[in-house]
Structure 1
Amino acid sequence: MSAVPDGRTGAPAVSVVICVYTEDRWGDILAAVASVRDQSYPALETLLVVDHNPALLRRLAKSYGDDGAGAETGAQRVRVLANAGPRGLSAGRNTGVAAASGEVIAFLDDDAVAERDWLLHFAEGYADPRVMAVGGRTQPVWASRRRPAWFPEEFDWVVGCSYRGLPPGRVAVRNVLGGNASFRKSGLEAVGGFASGIGRDGQRLPLGGEETELCIRLTRALPEAVLIVDDRSVIHHRVPPARERFSYFRTRAYAEGLSKALVARSVGAREGLASERRYTTRVLPAGVARGLRDALLGRPGGAGRAGAIVAGVAAAAGGYALGSLRARRGGGGSFAVATLEAPTNDEAPPDGGAAACEGAGG
């Protein structure tokens, strides 16, 4: 991590992209859009990208405007689009980027709400023309109303949130976290957008890592690029009951290991695992020590947190080992950098539209 350079003033237009999947999250989607509409720094537009769900597409289009262009203007403008690429988060984001009119694209999870100054602090980061991405801080909102006693803060990334070990304040980083992040559109266009086949695609395993791969590819293509995190840009991310369970914790850690193997295959282990080395050699041992200390002092959950950290590391290491083995044998799958192409109509397109991309840097 390094200090963030001082920049120059500017006021970029920001488009907000929210990828949505299921009517089960209808209330969450409405809350996410409402939080964007309430920003102190108004968004140019909000784009809801529906991932191959025609019923949800029709329902959202009816709520926010039937013509696909949005029924309102300014910060109230909401556009409803079908994912123009293969099923999954990466292609959905690429669809939103291609359709967006803003200079900066901000991404918000469909089960999160943003604080009022979320976009304001993002926009401030782009005063420096070298800044190509600005991330923020994501806080968990537990369905049980309190953190499970055994759940270590060092593993909050398991539920899509900022975790213990991230540097505070406004700092330069290797990569931002995608559920609460923004990018210059020109930077995304320069590298072809997010790669499909790494992150979530609606299948059983909760994969990840697409933001890491993109950010490394971005700084390789644009060596002067600066990526920062500003922890004043805060969102609150809902954690459903199923994700408070140890079974999900273990599965998500294992899936992250598989994803990191794909990232390392793409960009090389040196860059692909640079931040992870510090995390596993410094942050996690300190977390185990805190848990054991709390257990000795009779504090609730201490032993559970220490044990969960050890189990999480083992699961992630197992996933990484299996993913690396598959890659060496040629059966580890490939990923693709999809064309940044917006849909031409409001019907869900068939899967496809990505060009295969293998090797370092995509």
Structure 2
Amino acid sequence: MPSTPYRPAASPGRERPGGIRVAELDLDGPDGPVLSFRPAPGTAADGAPVRGGDEVYALVRLRGRPVATVVCRVPPGRDPADAVAATARDKLAGRAPSAPSAHGDLPRTSVVVASREGADRLARTLDSLLAQDHPDFEIVVVDNAPVTSATEDLVRLKYGDRVRLVREPVPGLAVAHNRGVAVAGGTVIAFTDDDVVADPHWLTALTAPFADDPRLGCTTGLILPARLTTPAQILLESHGGFAKGFAPRVYDPRHPPAGEPLFPFTAGSFGSGANMAFSAAALRRIGGFDPATGTGTPARGGDDLYAFVSVLAAGHRLRYTPEALVWHHHRERWQDLMNQAYGYGAGLTAYLTALLARRPGLLPALLRKLPRGLAHARAITAHRDTGAGCTPGEHGTQNHPWPRHLSHLERRGMLAGPFGYVRARLRLRGVPLPGVADVGVADAEGGR
């Protein structure tokens, strides 16, 4: 019996009963039998299995390796694993199975997780990090500008000496990350957020490339939704979410990628801050993250984008590896999605402002690419009709739904980003900040 073609049940502004179930399917080859079918880590605690009539968003693995996502509806009375597998085999038809990645000795790694009053979600992140198959790593939690002792209590009482806790009183994600960099003992420093669940192979896949490429400065990985239960979560994932696809890519400043005339300034295509790792030496050499960027500052974001471009500008390569997987808990409410849309726009222009302020040598290249950059910004923030509903997983198609009010918010954020960055810089005047290199961040900025 063929699988039922997927038709979105409703436009993203309407409730879908039960939302979309998120699952993992592992096949023994593109047309092979099912090895396993289970709920994704973020939904496993719900206890409800996939049933007939459910809409399903599934990660497809081939012998454990992530290769695709599919979305389908399970026909009533049909085995869910069989229905999802049929859809997956159709999508993978003709694809040759790829060999598993080989790697040398894995580098000693520090995993930094910044959290601000996030103890209610931090435990599941730490549990997943402690289950990693990487042989040599430490976990550093940065308690950022805490109001309560909840994060400290959680780490000390539940995790003891398995997790290192440091405190950063200055609010801001970039400042918190710099505090983690300052104390990290690994030759590679990985970062993730307190609202993710890391695949057990995440850290190995994310850090293995550093063993083989001495010019590698940064790696990023695949981010998939842990749950799709509300219209806001479904719309965000339909808009592209955080996923960058299943094809590994290497970005090399000596050989700019063909077909990307704005390289390296379209840093959003490289990855996201919830799933990234840096050579510790390279990150410290560029002065770490700009403390006037990121969540928790008036700039609202852009800290990861600034670091990506700075590492590339220093001559290092950046690698995207989809085998490094984390499951991200998207925000559930419409207000959160509206804030996120505004923050996307603000973070984009804030990071560009940070580049010009701290790396003025990039100004000529940015000015040459400015006309195309403005056209690109208009395209990625454009309103797209949502009347036909939305389909999570169709990333990179540029035909995803995006309501007009979110488009307006994103563009308003772009106008506000430079001013937010300046306000953040002014707020940090005279504030002691963590040093991440032989000199402090303030010195790296030119003795602010």
Structure 2 length as normaliser, TM-score?
Answer: 0.58
Pick the aligned partner of 1:248 from 320, 339, 343. Answer: 339
Instruction: Tell me which amino acid in the other structure corresponds to 1:168.
Output: F
Deviation per CA, 1:189-220: give whole Å up to 9, x if none.
1112111111112x5x6711111112222233
2:439 paired with 1:355: no
Q: Distance in 2 between matches of 1:186 and 1:258?
A: 27
Check 1:180–1:153 CA distance in 2 against 1; reply closer, same or farther (3 A cut): same
Specify which of 198, 204, 226 is matched with residue 317 of structure 2: 226
SS in 2 for 1:239: coil
**What residue number does 1:105 align with?**
189
Deviations 1:199-242 (CA, angstroms, capped at 9, x unpaired): 112x5x67111111122222333x2x111111111101112323
Is the contact between residue 119 and residue 151 of structure 2 (CA under 8 Å) also seen in structure 1? no
* Counterpart pick for 1:316 among 404, 410, 429: 410
AA at the equivalent of 2:219? V
Maintained 8 Å contact 1:200/1:207: yes
1:261 positional shift: 4.9
Provide the residue aligned with 1:138 in structure 2.
Answer: 223
The 8 Å contact of residues 222 and 325 in structure 2, kept in 1 or not, is answered as yes
Aligned to 1:319, the other structure's residue is in SS state helix
1:120-199 aligned within 5 A = 120-126=204-210, 127-142=212-227, 144=229, 150-151=235-236, 153-156=238-241, 161-162=242-243, 166=244, 168-173=246-251, 174=264, 175-199=270-294
> Given the alignment, which residue of 237, 245, 248 partners 2:328?
237
RMSD value, Cα: 3.9
Q: Secondary structure at the match of 1:212?
A: helix
1:185: Cα distance to partner?
0.8
Larger relative contact order (C-alpha < 8 A, sep ≥ 6)? Answer: 1
SS in 1 for 2:294: coil
**Taking structure 1 as the reference length, what is the TM-score of the superposition?**
0.70
Give secondary structure in 2 for the equivalent of 1:42.
coil
Q: Which has the higher helix share?
A: 1
Separation in 1, partners of 2:334, 2:323 = 26
Aligned AA for 2:272? L
Cα shift readout 1:155-198 (whole Å, capped 9, x = no counterpart): 52xxxx33xxx353211245442111111111111112111111
Distance 2:374 2:327 in 1: 28
Letter in 1 for 2:286: V
CA offset at residue 35 of structure 1?
0.6
Asked if the contact 2:107–2:188 (Cα under 8 Å) also holds between the matched residues in 1, the reply is yes
Alpha-carbon separation, structure 1, partners of 2:135 and 2:348: 38
Q: Deviations over 1:97-119 (max 9, x none)?
A: 12111111111101111001101
Q: 1:27 to 1:135 in 2, by over 3 A?
A: same
Does structure 2 retain, via aligned residues, the 8 Å contact 1:90–1:195? yes
Aligned residues: 310
> Which residue matches 1:62?
156
CA deviation profile, 1:85-105 (whole Å, cap 9, x unmatched): 622111211111121111111
Q: Can you give the 5+ residue segments of structure 2 that lack an aligned partner in the other structure? A: 1-100, 252-263, 265-269, 392-398
Shift of 1:278: 8.3
State the 1:143 CA deviation: 6.3
Task: Give the distance between the partners of 1:199 and 1:29, measured in 2 at CA.
Answer: 19
Q: Per-residue deviation at 1:249? A: 4.4
Q: How far, CA to CA, are the matches of 2:420 and 2:192 in structure 1?
A: 33
Kept in 2, the 8 Å contact 1:242–1:248? The answer is no
- Deviation per CA, 1:299-355: give whole Å up to 9, x if none: 3359x96452x544443333333445788xx8785679954369xxxxxxxxxx862
